[in-house]
Chain A
Amino acid sequence: MEDDKKLIARILCGEKEAFTCFVKKYQKLVSHVVFRLVRNETDREDICQDIFIKIYRNLGTFRYDSKLSTWIASIAHNTCLHYLEKKRVPLYEDLTDTETTLSIEQVAETGRTIIDAVISRDIGRCVRKEIDNLPHLLGLLVALYHLEEMSYEEIAGITRLPMGTVKSYLYRARKQLKTQLMNTYLLEDIWQ
């Protein structure tokens, strides 16, 4: 927290170097949120850039009521929601199905990619592929909990969902991921 305070003070004094450090430090977090929620590849980086500009402009208003990462993730989440609203992409509608249903072509395509990934032992890539098949919001929750190591409470604050809902969505996401992975592989490569 102290490091963040110093970094923010330097940025507010106009130090470009400090802002470069800041972007490098938090680009992963922002990209996790954006890439999970926005599927349009051409817009993703522009949205990431918009988010950092927004953060820069509002940095003076950050009051340390929450962790800086939570504040940044909230801005990223809200920006993505705004983008999805503008593009009329539903974020919560796809949560009504308990399991993701893929077409035969999609299954074949996914299967091929995953088998390739398993052969090349790039486990991360095939898991990511599976996460991409989850509903947007579930993918985001998985990223925030497992990659950003945020608590249920922090995630609830970012997504403005009740903590119980966050928990149950995450349980559902993991169960779905496990099932998909088990269905797709013989699993020796993944589970051993």
Chain B
Amino acid sequence: MAIMHLSDNDIQAYLDMIHNGLPADTRIVQHLENCKICQEHLTQYSRLYEILAVDKGYELSPGFVDGVVAAAMPESASERVNIWGTILLVAGFCLGLGVTAFFIDLRMLVLRTVESFKLFLLSINDILNYDTWAVVPKHHLDMYLLTGIILLFVSVGDKILFRLKKNHYCL
């Protein structure tokens, strides 16, 4: 009757079990105790496992680490967080501007602002005087108030998001 020796896969599976600290198949253990050929086979594979585990691998050039850090870090994490803040701020500004443009004739607004500025230059008293504001129709003042509230809301939201993002990164 022909003796059935362990295959390469059996021996490797056995070594993997040992390598991972798992109990080996008793059938394989029993066979290895009695079979010289498979023992030799096992020794060769064991040696191969040892050699493979101590391979030092490939060496990267000495300046590699510094090169990587220099390439990756000019844009630091805190700057990245600031970018988010800036994006939100710009978005808030655009939103505010959009809402204003939707409700108000911007050209008129600019003209009135310039007018007000001229008046301001002429006399601070004119600015403090409520009559100057009377130039702007009453319902437009409501729009200014609405725009101001929206901008305030966006900027507060931006601050909260900025803080949350920063806390998330810098636990």
| Distance of A60 Cα from B170 Cα, bound (Å) | 11
Chain B at the A interface: SS class: helix
**Most central of B9, B55, B170 by chain A CB within 10 Å:** B55
Q: Are A9 and B51 in contact (CB under 8 A)?
A: no
| Distance of A124 Cα from B48 Cα, bound (Å) | 11
Query: What residues of A have a CB within 8 angstroms of the CB of B43 in the complex?
Result: 191
Q: Mark A1-37, 1 if CB is under 8 A from B, else 0.
A: 0000000010111101001100110011001100100
A146 on the B face (CB < 8 A): yes
Q: Are B47 and A53 in contact (CB under 8 A)?
A: no
Query: What residues of A have a CB within 8 angstroms of the CB of B53 in the complex?
Result: 146-147
Q: Are B57 and A35 in contact (CB under 8 A)?
A: yes
Query: What residues of B have a CB within 8 angstroms of the CB of A27 in the complex?
Result: 60, 64-65
B54 on the A face (CB < 8 A): yes
A-B contact count (CB 8 A): 105
| Distance of A56 Cα from B69 Cα, bound (Å) | 9
Q: Are A12 and B77 in contact (CB under 8 A)?
A: yes
Residue of B52, B67, B169 touching A127 (CB-CB under 8 A)? B52
Q: Are B64 and A14 in contact (CB under 8 A)?
A: no
Q: Which range contains the number of A residues in contact with the other chain?
A: 35 or more
Given A32-B58, A142-B52, A146-B52: A14 in contact with B76 (beta carbons within 8 A): yes
Q: Are B57 and A146 in contact (CB under 8 A)?
A: no
Q: Are A14 and B56 in contact (CB under 8 A)?
A: no
Residue of A9, A14, A170 touching B78 (CB-CB under 8 A)? A14
Interface residues of A in 139-192 (CB under 8 A from B): 142-143, 146-147, 151, 170-171, 174-175, 177-178, 181-182, 190-191
Chain A residues with CB under 8 Å of chain B are 9, 11-14, 16, 19-20, 23-24, 27-28, 31-32, 35, 44-45, 48-49, 52-53, 56-57, 60, 123-124, 127-128, 131, 142-143, 146-147, 151, 170-171, 174-175, 177-178, 181-182, 190-191
Chain B residues with CB under 8 Å of chain A are 8-9, 12, 20, 43-45, 47-49, 51-58, 60-61, 64-69, 71-73, 76-79, 169-171
